Amino acid sequence: MVEVKTPLSPDTDMSASALADRSEVSLTKGQLQDGDSSQESERKLTPYERLSYDLSNDKRCLKEITLGKRIGFYRIRGELGNGNFSQVKMGIHSLTKEKVAIKILDKTKLDQKTQRLLSREISSMEKLHHPNIIRLYEVVETLAKLHIVMEYAGGGELFTKISNEGRLPEVDAKFLFAQIVAAVRHMHDMHIIHRDLKAENVFFAGPKTVKVGDLGFSTFSQSDETLSTFCGSPPYAAPELFKDESYFGVFVDIWALGIMLYFMVTGIMPFRAETVAKLKKCILEGNYTIPPYVSDSCQFLIRGILRPVPQDRFALDEIKNSDWLEGEDFPEPLEPYQLNPSLQMAGLPDEEMEARNYLKELGITEEHFRQTSGRDSRSSITGAYRIILHKIHKKHSNAEDYLEQNNVNHQYNNHGYRTGKENNLQRGANIQKKESRMCTIL
């Protein structure tokens, strides 16, 4: 008899959460069936059991864990971005083989303010269910590091594409901008303000699909509630942010959409300067020009958004109903779904049942769901469930989009997630913000 058990204590950098997810697996090898002394029965390990066993017994897995090349159920691959306190790397989920983006933070370097921002980022991502917003899958914590596992968009940044290839044709800019507007509308409907909308935080999931990500500066705010913290990149900052006064988050996000639209159709920023002081002056004075090759309807929309008085700016409904965006599709939010596997089977939507059946084939059972209940995103079972459910959502929502997103050929820069440290004013970052009130870019 050979007994196989998963470990109950962490190794070098193994997360306690991943270990806690695993129930003991006891297998009998060579056990004879009752009444048949000549036949040997052997139950094959399920993929989940095999992975659980390998993570504490396989030499290659143990070496990867020691070298930081594996965390929980994820094998860590190439680097996607760097920040002051974080890295973003591509990962592969070992059970589903799906690619993910993993934001890795050094816990020893995070002050209380940064920890609050991280908590908001996780909370915001969990509340948002839209096809054009990056999804959160799992949070894996070790003694020294925090890993935020997210949807991977392999096409790279909108900023990188325009920087490398030049301004977008308006016909392309229209359907991409419509997706971004739809994503922001969903955020605002959920009372979430992004506060760092820019081309660097919009990622291609396919040639015709973009997703808004990096909610590290996001916050919850009612429509009549003011904010006071200066966040984001100054070239995208609304005039009221430079006046050292409180502001309404919705209007700040809308201004940033106007800056982004200008960049998409021209390839340059409307407000450009060599110093912070000059940039601030340009924005406060509202000095910008729109090249004559931009269509009249697009110019009208840009000018309607980039108005100095916040309340005078076009609302999102006015943007959606503008002549320039006439006939464009604005993707709707997804139907409400369970972020965590439900313990009640009755009445589950077909997509969630399909996800559970897929998990069952991998060896993840109702008992595993019960054992990890209440742990939400800090569970590898929940991580696997969310990854599979997302794949099913993409497949069911639109077969063409699903094929597009799963066959993206990395024709754009493959560094689709940024975590901070921009390089120049034209790019819209690395400008010293007000010392008294600022968000730290991760």
Tell me how far the alpha carbon of residue 353 is from its chain's centroid. 25
E strands in 47-106: 70-71, 74-82, 86-93, 99-106
- How many beta carbons lie within 10 A of that of residue 277, not counting itself? 9
Whole-number Å distance between alpha carbons of 347 and 360: 18
Contacts of 102 (CB under 8 A, 6+ apart): 71, 74, 76, 88, 89, 90, 91, 147, 148, 149, 150
The active-site residue out of 21, 58, 196, 376 is 196
In 58-205, which ranges are continuous DSSP H helix? 59-66, 112-127, 158-165, 170-189
Buried b vs exposed e over 96-107: b needs ≥16 C-beta within 10 Å? bebbbbbbbbee
Contact assessment for residue 275 and residue 284, using Cβ atoms and an 8 Å cutoff: no
Angle at 442 between CA 274 and CA 305, to 5 degrees: 55
140 by DSSP, 3-state: which? strand
Whole-number Å distance between alpha carbons of 221 and 61: 44
Whole-number Å distance between alpha carbons of 51 and 64: 14
Q: Which of 150, 113, 148 is nearest to 135 (CA)?
A: 150
Whole-number Å distance between alpha carbons of 198 and 255: 11
Angle at 265 between CA 248 and CA 405, to 5 degrees: 85
Number of continuous H segments (helices) and E segments (strands) in the chain = 14, 14
Contact assessment for residue 131 and residue 139, using Cβ atoms and an 8 Å cutoff: no
Whole-number Å distance between alpha carbons of 158 and 150: 18
Whole-number Å distance between alpha carbons of 176 and 329: 10
Q: Is 106 a catalytic residue?
A: no
103 annotated to bind ligand: yes
Q: Is the dihedral of CA 420, 422, 428, 432 positive or negative?
A: positive
- How many beta carbons lie within 10 A of that of residue 287, not counting itself? 10
Annotated binding residues, as ranges?
103
Which residues participate in the annotated binding site for ATP? Answer: 103
Catalytic center residues: 196
